[in-house]
Amino acid sequence: MNAAIKGEGVDTTHGAILYLEDITVSFDGFKAINQLNLDISVGELRCIIGPNGAGKTTMMDVITGKTRPVSGTAFFGQTMDLTSMAEYEIAHAGIGRKFQRPTVFEQHTVFENLELAMKMNKRVAPTLFFRVSSEQKGKIEEILKLIRLHGEETRLAGLLSHGQKQWLEIGMLLMQEPQLLLLDEPVAGMSDAETVRTAELLNELRGKHSIVVVEHDMAFVTEIAQGGKVTVLHEGSVLAEGTMQQVQADERVIEVYLGR
Ligand SMILES: Nc1ncnc2c1ncn2[C@@H]1O[C@H](COP(=O)(O)OP(=O)(O)OP(=O)(O)O)[C@@H](O)[C@H]1O
């Protein structure tokens, strides 16, 4: 088992990597998140779906410390109380987030982007001037293959397609060995072919990392959910949870989301 799945540095003795209980977020009295409960197991790939405004992004913001709940508890493993940690502390503890729009270093090559990401991982690189060892080059090679950019390492990131930039950013997150990976609409704006390849990529990560994916593309969610749990958010709470088949057959889900 690798460090990421074990949740190294995070106490996951009870099998949970993330635990949200009764979380409420209020914006001027409007409850964007309303007594939300969510439990993610170590090594799980969880898909979160729900209509616009359901609170998906706000939930990610609570997990990463960007938004503070007015009530409820949020734990990373058994012991880390996310509501009392700063954003940088949460990132450092091993929660990596990919936002919807790719944010790669456009003036650097694909390889340099991955190298820079490695250098930002303080567990690997003590200073920015440290040299990448051959073992670490091997890690970069491995990630390049995984993110379908092998053979493209000398290209400037700015010249990549939108989909390739998204993959590069996922690769950069993986270089930082996150214990929990949050992906916000990873296939938004991608071509059909890129979407299929992204599903393959995530299926390769399955079981090796703990991952939460927020996505609207149902065909994509079906591809990556497989037999795992899908959570449907609606008006800031969990409306339904179960396999893709179960939630797709749920009358309430059809009414508020799928049937429109
Ligand atoms: N900073 C804010 N101030 C006021 N209201 C906000 C703020 N952020 C989000 N909201 C509101 O909270 C609700 C939930 O928004 P959120 O962005 O979390 O939904 P979402 O499920 O991610 O939607 P989408 O699928 O469109 O991205 C929305 O009604 C939104 O308008």
- For 223-250, write each residue's pLDDT tens digit: 999 999 999 999 999 999 999 999 999 9
Instruction: Record the tokens describing residue 135, joined without a space.
Output: 């073992």
181, 175 in Cβ contact below 8 A? no
Q: Packing angle between helix 162-175 and helix 110-119, nearest 10 degrees?
A: 30
For ligand 1, atom 12, which residue shows the shortest CA distance? 32
Q: How far is the CA of 15 from the centre of ligand 1 (A)?
A: 30
Residues with CB under 6 A from ligand 1: 27, 32, 50, 52-58
Q: How far is the CA of 106 from the centre of ligand 1 (A)?
A: 29
| CA 182/CA 94 separation, integer angstroms | 11
- The CA-atom distances, in angstroms, between 197 and each of 38, 90, 157, 169 are 28, 30, 19, 15
Share of the chain above pLDDT 90, in %: 75
Name the strand (E) or helix (H) holding 104. none
Task: Quickly state the pLDDT bin for 15 (edges 50, 70, 90).
Answer: confident
Q: How far is the CA of 214 from the centre of ligand 1 (A)?
A: 14
- The residue to mutate among 27, 238, 239, 256, having the most atoms of ligand 1 within 8 angstroms of its beta carbon, is 27
Residue 145's nearest CA partner among 111, 189, 185 is: 111
**pTM, 2 dp:** 0.91
Q: Is residue 182's pLDDT more than 60?
A: yes
| Structural domains in the chain plus CATH codes | 3-258 (3.40.50.300)
- In sequence order, which ranges of the chain are alpha helices (DSSP H)? 3-6, 56-63, 87-93, 110-119, 134-146, 162-175, 192-205, 218-225, 244-249, 251-253
Task: Quickly state the pLDDT bin for 1 (edges 50, 70, 90).
Answer: very low
Instruction: Record the tokens describing residue 166, joined without a space.
Output: 């998204």
pLDDT digits (tens, 9 = 90+) for 24-56: 999 999 999 999 999 999 999 999 999 999 999
- The residue to mutate among 48, 57, 234, having the most atoms of ligand 1 within 8 angstroms of its beta carbon, is 57
Instruction: Record the tokens describing residue 225, joined without a space.
Output: 């959910």
- The CA-atom distances, in angstroms, between 154 and each of 114, 139, 168 are 11, 16, 13
Instruction: Record the tokens describing residue 49, joined without a space.
Output: 């779906």
